[in-house]
Structures are given as structure tokens and as C-alpha cells.
Amino acid sequence: MKMFVMFLIITHVSQHVSAVDMNEGDQFVLLRCEFPTMELDFPTVMWSRFDLSPSTVHQHQQEGDELKNQNQLYSSRTSMKPDALKTGDLSLNLTQLQLSDSGTYTCSVRTVRGERRVADVQLQVKERFPSWAKALLVLLIVAVGLLVHFRHYFMSVQHVEGNSGMESVQLPCETTVRLPEDVRVEWNDIQYNNVHVYQNGSDKPEEQHQDFKGRTEMKRDLLKTGDLSLTLKYPTDWDRRTFTCTVYSREGNILIKKLVKLQVKDCQVEVKEGVESVQLPFRTTGDLPEDTTVWWECEEPKPEVTTHLYLNGSDRPGEQHQFYRDRTEMKENLLKTGDLSLTLKCPTVRDTGTYVCYVISQNIWRMKTLMLNVKKRPQDKDETVDIRNRSSFTDPTPLMADQSV
């Protein structure tokens, strides 16, 4: 009887409504509910969402949690204090919040004599930061970082086209920025070889890579005009590279950086078999050092066969492959004039291939590749056609015989 009276007394505790805002993914939320259950006989605490079926979110009684009717959505995500019924703190701890947790949670206390709705808690779970936005943000940060770090590589590349018959090609690099007197201008290739260095008002040929020795020139008054373009003399396929033009301040900071990609067309020579001779052209700068070796080699289809060798001031027929014996000739004064062209006499189809000429001295290294194509003589062509005609005539005969039957 006493229990019954107590229950009636407490039923006039006003029902409490509260609202809670959370974000998706939050660790937990405590949905508040208090009621002096210590005075009751065998109370059961029910947390429910009446918009769900089953509506039970959590159930707790003297023996402990009773979760057999729990809605699957809340499986393993709810808890109440073990001593809740003794203290009257019936708050529900809901973990790993999801968007679908939004709703009204009703806390009620039930005894054998009746049920009391104690509190309604409106829970709103908001989308934190949509995941695609998160991914986008990460991407953006990475991209900005990369851009800052590799900013020189994202610069536009200027394309220059040349061919290996040209006397020179210009690699453009111009600036409108007023440059101080003490800058260092470096032309490099993509492998960081120094192509040309200008510092302190003059060129520094001693810093130049051997591939470019004696072949480069920059403009006069380049700091005044801002025209830092490089003239590269007698370009060959060996110069197919990406070049960088960089201006450093005295402290070593990069003031300007530009990229220039040089494309040099293949050198192709075509003749018909039967001509007296063919010339494999190669011109380069004159006044080459006396120790210069000029070495013509066939690389394809024959594997690295010496076509002609000029060493220490004279031809070396002894080093030449017998296939080319007495058939090659170089110019007089070739080191003086820089005309390293090779004359090949009586070319035949068997001379067709890829030829490379190397120019090597103490500190010079140059090379050029040529494609020689020697075509068959027209009479030879006719012969092959005749053979084909004859064989194609023998075939239709039985067919025609069949038709006549």
C-alpha cells in the first residue's frame, strides 16, 4: 500500500522535455532523465522512440539491462549507470552517433501499478562535414602543398623546334623584371648539366658541361634588356632535351625560372642505288681542338661497326670495317671548318641503316644520328614485278578450265 501511495505522489512531477544537438560520428551523448526510482517497488526504466518499431531503445530493471526487445539500430550502443535505480539517474548513454539517431526519446518508469512518462528528449544528429567535402579539403591541401613545392615544374613549357641542318637555334627566356647586377643566370638541361652559366657580368665557360662547350652564346647587355635567351649552335638530335633558364639572386634565391623544350628533327638521307656517292652531312663549329676524334659508326642494322675513324689528325683505315674499305672520305681541314660530313661511295641497299658520328676531345662531346635509306634501282623493281606477274598467271588457268566445263 505504501508503494502505491508513493507512486501516486511522484506522478505529479512535471514531464521534462529537452533538446540536444549532436554531430554524426560523435563518441556519445547522454540523454538526461531523473526520477526517484529508489522509492519504487520493482521499477522498470524504458527508453523508447515511438516512431520506431520495435520502439524500445533501452530497458533497465533491478536485475540489470533487459535488451531482448531492443531495436536493432541501437544494438551495443546504449548503456545506463548500473546503479541507476538506486540513485534515480536514469540517463541514457548513446554511443557512435548516426544520422538515423535523430528523433524523440521518451524516458518512462513502469511498475506493476502503472507507467509514468518522465522525460522526452529531442535528439538532432547533424551531418558533420560531408565526407566528399572532407576528401576535397584534403586533396586541396595536398595540391596546394605540391604546387608550392614543385612550382617550377608546373610552369608552362615553351616548345622550340629545330633540325640538325640548322646553324643555330634560339632557346627563348625573356623577362621584364629589372635584374640586379649580381645575379647568376644558369641554363641547364633536365639532368642538371650546366649548359651555360653567366655570373658577375661574364660567361663562365669553365662551368659548362662538355656536351655544350663552344656551342652556346648569350646576348650582350642581357641584364639591361632582360633577354636571357640562349643561342645553341649546330643543334643535333643529341640536344633533344628540356632546358631550364634560372636566375638566382646573390643569396641563391630563384628569381625567375623558365622551361624550354627543344625538339630536333631526325636527319634523314635518301638516295637511289647506283648513284656515285652519298653524303652524310654533319656540320658543327669550326676551330675544333687538334686532339679531336671524329668517329663515324653504323649502329643499325650492323651492331656498332666503324664506318670511318679520324684520330690525332689523320684517317685510320686500319680501324675501319672492311665493308666500308676505300668507300669513305672526309673533307680536308675538317677540324678547322667544322664540316665533318662523310662521303660514302657506291651506296647499295646494304648501306641502309642508322649512322652516328661522335666528336670527342679532351673536353668536347658531340654527336649526331642520321638515317640513311638507299633505295633499290628502278630496273631491279621491274624484275621483281615480272616474277610476280608470271606466278599470278599460272594460278588462274585451272579456274578458267573449270568454268569452260
Ligand X SMILES: *[C@@H]1O[C@H](CO)[C@@H](O)[C@H](O)[C@H]1NC(C)=O
The reply to whether 93 sits near ligand X by the rule CB under 6 A is yes
109 contacts 116 by C-beta, under 8 angstroms: yes
The reply to whether 73 sits near ligand X by the rule CB under 6 A is no
String of contacts with ligand X for each residue 185-224, x by CB under 6 A: --------------xx------------------------
Which grid coordinates are listed for 132? 566528399
The reply to whether 28 sits near ligand X by the rule CB under 6 A is yes
Judged by DSSP in three states, 161 sits in: strand
Q: How many residues bind ligand X, per CB under 6 A?
A: 11
Which grid coordinates are listed for 401? 578450265
Q: Smallest distance, Å, CB 334 to ligand X?
A: 16
**Residue with Cβ nearer ligand X (79 or 337):** 79
**Residue with Cβ nearer ligand X (303 or 313):** 313
Q: How far apart are CA 343 and CA 313, in angstroms?
A: 18
Name 197's bridge partners.
Answer: 186
Which grid coordinates are listed for 390? 608470271
**Residue with Cβ nearer ligand X (32 or 302):** 32
Beta strands in 334-377 (DSSP E): 342-345, 353-361, 364-375
For ligand X, the binding residue among 385, 399, 401, 405 (CB under 6 A) is 385
Q: Smallest distance, Å, CB 264 to ligand X?
A: 32
Grid cell 641554363 is found at: 187
19 contacts 121 by C-beta, under 8 angstroms: yes
Beta-carbon contacts of 300 under 8 Å, excluding residues fewer than 6 positions away, are: 353, 354
Q: Smallest distance, Å, CB 30 to ligand X?
A: 5
**Residue with Cβ nearer ligand X (30 or 133):** 30
Q: Smallest distance, Å, CB 173 to ligand X?
A: 21
Alpha carbon 24 to chain centroid, angstroms: 36
Q: How far apart are CA 166 and CA 392, in angstroms?
A: 50
Amino acid at 128: R
String of contacts with ligand X for each residue 258-297, x by CB under 6 A: ----------------------------------------
Q: Smallest distance, Å, CB 232 to ligand X?
A: 25
String of contacts with ligand X for each residue 305-344, x by CB under 6 A: -------xx-------------------------------
What count of residues does the chain have? 405
String of contacts with ligand X for each residue 342-381, x by CB under 6 A: ----------------------------------------
**Residue with Cβ nearer ligand X (78 or 369):** 78
The reply to whether 30 sits near ligand X by the rule CB under 6 A is yes
Supply the DSSP string of 298-335, one letter for each residue.
Answer: EEESSSSEEEEEEETTEE-GGGS-GGGTTTEEE-TTHH
Q: How far apart are CA 208 and CA 258, in angstroms?
A: 19
| Cα end-to-end distance, the chain, whole Å | 126
Chain residues that interact with ligand X, rule: CB under 6 A: 28, 30, 79, 93, 95, 199-200, 312-313, 385, 389
